[in-house]
């Protein structure tokens, strides 16, 4: 009895609407010529430069279904070709994406092909020469590819290594098309259309991306892809500022740039303190992105935290105004001093000194010398204002200083419930962490239920 064969429907792979793609050179003409000549195509280029979009665009243009496989190191030949599965009480053969593409005369796209194991990739060899056939040993069958079938593979040369390299016996079977990021004028059009931003904003985003790509020769591992630029544009179109995007979505840009500046300034100019500034900026960015991840999906809590943060810093900035009055500055105005002091507080975050000492006074003098009646008054108000603003927290600092290392509060609130620190056993090294608290609460609940 012949084994039933299940093949995914060709309708599952059809592209209904034309994907947007702007040709950079003659890649569309070369691709179409290769398809007519039944020659497989290899696309080389950095991540996010448009390789996948190009294949989808050409599949729609040629009227062929598109079967895409994201290659990875655990991909097996069976994953591509197919396997036997139980279907009710029967055993059936289910075609894999490779076999389905051959049967339907589709375009098969193996994305990042070097990520797949070499013993897996050899299964495509008979489809890349004059035979154009696929042997399915488990079915004892050979499936011959129709004229419309085409094999396309892609890889990122930047991710290549000795262990992950396309074999010459495989590479020589393909016509290669080199991809890179589009020229600025084309990339601006892509970003404006895909992200829905104004042409001027798209121009600025592409300009920033170009400058960062130029840093790849100075230690930046990878440039900014067109896809990342489009994502940034979509966030801006949704109302998020460019500054927040850089810190929120692409912190690696700033981290990499600060590392490059540190090496240049430290090695060439001999500026030692810049290392401390760079380390502090990177630490702040890491804390920022960690906090963003913690608040993901908790908009109410995020709004509450930001509101509390605003009240804290605004109140601190107000103290600088009252400090100015206390030292006899009769020309002090509330809003200019409060606003300038807020900027000064932000600036101290990036100071390499403890608590921004020195940087605070310098920024206060730079921003508010005229308002405070002179450099001396500005420096004095910066120093005394900080002490006055932090006076309320000094008692907590004093307690932190004198307490014993073993001290723990008897109770703490976690999600509105009182938690006893004694629940945390020595196995957890006495550390307060979410996992330990969760286990302790569960054990406490079981003990309480048993007592009842």
Q: What is the pLDDT of residue 397?
A: 67
pLDDT reading at 182 higher than 80: yes
Q: How far is CA 286 from CA 118, 228, 252, 273, 289, in A?
A: 38, 20, 9, 20, 5
pLDDT band at 224; cut points 50, 70, 90 = confident
In DSSP notation, 173-237 reads TSEEEE--PPPHHHHHHHHHHHHT--HHHHHHHHHHHHHHHGGGGGT-SS---HHHHHHHHHHHH
Which of 112-116, 141-145, 170-174, 371-375 shows the highest mean pLDDT? 141-145
Starting at the edge strand found earlier in the chain, the sheet holding 66-70 runs 66-70, 107-111, 150-155, 41-44, 175-178
Of 17-26, 276-285, 367-376, 380-389, minimum mean pLDDT range: 276-285
- Taking residues 239-268, report their average pLDDT: 54
Helical ranges in 73-133 per DSSP H:
77-81, 97-104, 118-121
Determine the Cα–Cα distance for residues 46 and 225; give it in Å rounded to an integer.
Answer: 8
pLDDT reading at 344 higher than 90: no
pLDDT reading at 8 higher than 80: yes
Q: What is the pLDDT of residue 416?
A: 59
Nearest to 7 by CA among 151, 139, 147, 148: 139
For the stretch 332-335, contacts whose Cβ atoms lie closer than 8 Å and that sit 24 or more positions apart, written own/partner, are: 332/371, 332/372, 333/371
Residue 33 CA, chain-centre distance (Å), reads 37
The two three-digit tokens of residue 110, written as one number: 């193996």
Q: What is the pLDDT of residue 35?
A: 95
Per the model's pLDDT, the better-predicted residue between 86 and 247 turns out to be 86
Determine the Cα–Cα distance for residues 298 and 222; give it in Å rounded to an integer.
Answer: 32
Per the model's pLDDT, the better-predicted residue between 242 and 22 turns out to be 22
pLDDT reading at 296 higher than 80: no
pLDDT band at 269; cut points 50, 70, 90 = very low
- Taking residues 409-431, report their average pLDDT: 56
Residue that the structure tokens 């930001």 belong to: 306
CATH class of 5-178: alpha beta
pLDDT band at 145; cut points 50, 70, 90 = very high
pLDDT band at 438; cut points 50, 70, 90 = low
Q: What is the pLDDT of residue 62?
A: 95
Q: What is the pLDDT of residue 58?
A: 96
pLDDT reading at 446 higher than 80: no
pLDDT reading at 429 higher than 70: no
Determine the Cα–Cα distance for residues 133 and 145; give it in Å rounded to an integer.
Answer: 6
Locate the domains of the chain by residue range: 5-178, 184-294, 300-398, 411-451
Determine the Cα–Cα distance for residues 355 and 348; give it in Å rounded to an integer.
Answer: 7
Q: What is the pLDDT of residue 284?
A: 63
Say if CB 139 and CB 192 are below 8 A apart.
no
Residue pLDDT, tens place only, 29-79: 999 999 999 999 999 988 888 999 999 999 999 999 999 999 988 899 999
Q: What is the pLDDT of residue 186?
A: 93
């Amino acid at each position: 009895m012949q084994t039933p064969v299940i093949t995914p429907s060709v309708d599952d792979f059809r592209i209904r609407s034309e994907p947007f793609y702007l040709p950079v050179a003659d890649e569309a003409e070369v691709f179409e010529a290769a398809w007519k000549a039944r020659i497989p195509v290899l696309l080389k280029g950095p991540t996010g430069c448009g390789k996948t979009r190009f294949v989808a665009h050409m599949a729609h243009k040629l009227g062929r279904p598109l079967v895409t496989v994201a290659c990875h190191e655990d991909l097996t030949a069976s994953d591509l070709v197919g396997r036997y599965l139980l279907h009710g009480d029967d055993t059936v053969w289910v075609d894999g994406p490779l076999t389905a593409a051959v049967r339907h005369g589709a375009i098969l796209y193996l994305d990042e092909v070097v990520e797949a194991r070499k013993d897996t990739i050899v299964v495509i060899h008979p489809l890349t020469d004059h035979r154009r056939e696929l042997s399915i040993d488990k079915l004892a069958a050979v499936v011959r590819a129709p004229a419309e079938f085409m094999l396309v593979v892609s890889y990122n040369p930047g991710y290549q290594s000795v262990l992950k390299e396309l074999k010459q016996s495989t590479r020589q079977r393909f016509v290669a098309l080199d991809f890179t990021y589009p020229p600025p004028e084309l990339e601006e059009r892509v970003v404006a259309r895909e992200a829905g931003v104004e042409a001027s904003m798209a121009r600025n985003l592409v300009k920033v991306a170009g400058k960062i790509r130029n840093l790849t020769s100075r230690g930046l591992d990878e440039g900014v892809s067109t896809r990342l630029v489009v994502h940034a544009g979509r966030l801006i179109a949704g109302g998020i500022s460019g500054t927040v995007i850089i810190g929120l979505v692409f912190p690696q840009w700033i981290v990499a740039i600060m590392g490059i500046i540190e090496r240049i300034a430290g090695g060439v100019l001999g500026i030692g303190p810049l290392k401390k500034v760079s380390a502090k900026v990177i630490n702040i960015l890491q804390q920022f992105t960690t906090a963003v991840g913690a608040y993901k999906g908790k908009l109410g809590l995020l709004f509450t935290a930001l509101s509390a943060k605003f009240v804290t810093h605004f109140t601190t900035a107000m103290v600088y105004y009252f400090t100015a009055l206390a030292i006899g500055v009769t020309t002090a105005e509330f809003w200019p001093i409060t606003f300038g002091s807020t900027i000064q507080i932000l600036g101290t975050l990036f100071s390499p000194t403890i608590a921004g000492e020195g940087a605070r006074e310098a920024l206060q003098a730079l921003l508010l010398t005229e308002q405070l009646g002179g450099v001396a008054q500005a420096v004095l108000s910066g120093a005394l204002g900080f002490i006055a603003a932090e006076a309320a927290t000094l008692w907590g600092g004093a307690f932190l200083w004198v307490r014993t290392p073993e001290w723990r509060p008897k109770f703490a609130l976690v999600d509105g419930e009182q938690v006893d620190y004694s629940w945390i056993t020595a196995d957890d090294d006495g550390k307060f962490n979410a996992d330990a608290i969760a286990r302790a609460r569960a054990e406490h609940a079981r003990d309480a239920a048993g007592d009842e």
